[in-house]
Structure 1
Amino acid sequence: MERTIAELPRPLTRPDRTQSTDGLGLLEAALGYIEDRHWDVVLGTSVQRADGMWSCSCGDRRCVSIGAHPAMRDWQKKISGQPSRAYEWWTEQPQGSIILPTGRTFDVLECSEQAGLLALARLERSGAHPGPVAATPSRRLYFFVLPNARTKVARTLTGLGWGRTTLDLVCRSTGDYIVAPPSRMGTRGQVQWVRAPADSARWLPDPEEVLAPLAYACGLHRIR
């Protein structure tokens, strides 16, 4: 039986920031990414609610990525791994989401929650180490892999026989980003870790190590 994110086990005690972001403030979580993971960050927009209406702090009433995009248009020039910059950003905007740029220290393979949980179960049963995995409130999963994955993904999918098949499998690499836990994303809730970047999930796998079960799971759900 497939699991949903709500059914995933929760820690019994509050973890420290090297294990998870559950219960942490956004500033503390951002500092953890910088200091413990050596990941760069960018300040994101925040979710606002007034008079029963949801909106994005960017001010665009038609924004389709409420609280889920960089707060600055020139965000690629603002990327920083400096704790002082993170402290400045999240002191001024304490509800701003944490944006992690991809294509630098990691890439991300994104798929549906159903396919991702199936692939994750297969990887764990095989004894593989999938690395960090995050889940969004929009029912998407992020698999963190080594950077420069885009070429490997295309080549590996072709070798697996999926080259001409349209799969719900996206590689986020150079020039892209994701919204990191515990940021609020849209109106449905927070991004959360399924496998936090610590202990067995600390090291990033090569994309080729996770692509076969991911492609199979995405193909299975495509057929359905």
Structure 2
Amino acid sequence: MDDALPLPGQLSGTHLLDAAVSYARWRHWEVLPGTWLEADAGGAPRCSCASAACPSPGAHPARADWAVRASGSASEVRRMWDRQPRASVLLATGRGFDVLEVPESAGCHALARTERMDVDLGPVIAAPTGRMAFFVLPGARAKAPGLLAALGWPPGALDLTVRGEGDWVAAPPTRMGRGGRAQWVRRPTAANRWLPDIGALLSPLAYACGRAAAEARAVR
């Protein structure tokens, strides 16, 4: 059934095809195939795009027209991965959800803070790049500047990125460079099907980012 939801852990498989289909079937997220990792002559991983300076090896769209190819249809997603089973699993942001991306240290602190504040969270991804992605309702990118200003944070003061329309996030179990795979810190479940608005999360995330930046300056 379309409105059926997975049990906790049902979306955590290590098979790229199964994961991609599950995201479309259970959450109706728009999924797109990305690049993948290949071994170079010395056995080291390199991006299938063949760029030696690739900033996101194995985890970026494989085609320029990715935005129109992303699909929330489980059958279409299956067809895409049947054609390229090694493709990384990317989720288009700005449609079913936006993402607030912060450094891992700030993300962990924010998770503890939101628990104490009894804030309802959506899914959260930890990437091997040292970043964490918090899922929120679409429209976050437009709201973020005003909300941050109201909290006293000038533009560019925090290491906090809002990913919305025209962007993407790498989803588990995508492998990203040498660092490992993207992993769920909080998995998609029935309990977090309804995503929070950016207003519920921005304050604890901004506080955590500001604290992390202050601690980094103190170490220097």
TM-score (ref. length: structure 2) = 0.90
8 Å CA contact 1:146, 1:204 repeated in 2: yes
Seq. identity, %: 47
**1:19 and 2:19 equivalent?**
no
Matches of 2:51 and 2:131 in 1, distance apart? Answer: 24
8 Å CA contact 1:18, 1:36 repeated in 2: no
Q: Residue type of the partner of 2:70?
A: I
1:177 aligned partner: 168
8 Å CA contact 1:103, 1:174 repeated in 2: yes
- What secondary structure, in the 3-state scheme, does the structure 2 residue paired with 1:111 have? strand
1:65 aligned partner: 56
Please give the per-residue CA displacement for 1:170-214, whole angstroms capped at 9, x wherever unaligned: 000011111111111111110010001113322210000000000
- CA-atom RMSD, angstroms? 1.6
Q: Residue type of the partner of 1:158?
A: A
Shift of 1:17: 5.6
Matches of 2:208 and 2:156 in 1, distance apart? Answer: 13
2:214 aligned partner: 223
1:206 aligned partner: 197
8 Å CA contact 1:45, 1:67 repeated in 2: yes
Matches of 1:90 and 1:210 in 2, distance apart? Answer: 34
**1:159 and 2:146 equivalent?**
no
1:46 aligned partner: 36
Q: Residue type of the partner of 2:182?
A: V
**1:141 and 2:103 equivalent?**
no
- What secondary structure, in the 3-state scheme, does the structure 2 residue paired with 1:200 have? helix
1:5 aligned partner: none
8 Å CA contact 1:47, 1:187 repeated in 2: no
- What secondary structure, in the 3-state scheme, does the structure 2 residue paired with 1:152 have? helix
Matches of 1:52 and 1:165 in 2, distance apart? Answer: 39
Matches of 1:117 and 1:161 in 2, distance apart? Answer: 22
Structure 1: unaligned runs, 5 residues or longer:
1-15
Shift of 1:57: 1.0
- What secondary structure, in the 3-state scheme, does the structure 1 residue paired with 2:174 have? coil
TM-score (ref. length: structure 1) = 0.88
- What secondary structure, in the 3-state scheme, does the structure 2 residue paired with 1:193 have? strand
- What secondary structure, in the 3-state scheme, does the structure 2 residue paired with 1:110 have? strand
Matches of 2:86 and 2:7 in 1, distance apart? Answer: 21
Q: Residue type of the partner of 1:19?
A: P
Q: Residue type of the partner of 1:74?
A: D
**1:191 and 2:182 equivalent?**
yes
- What secondary structure, in the 3-state scheme, does the structure 1 residue paired with 2:52 have? coil
Shift of 1:67: 0.5
Q: How many residues matched?
A: 209
8 Å CA contact 1:31, 1:86 repeated in 2: yes
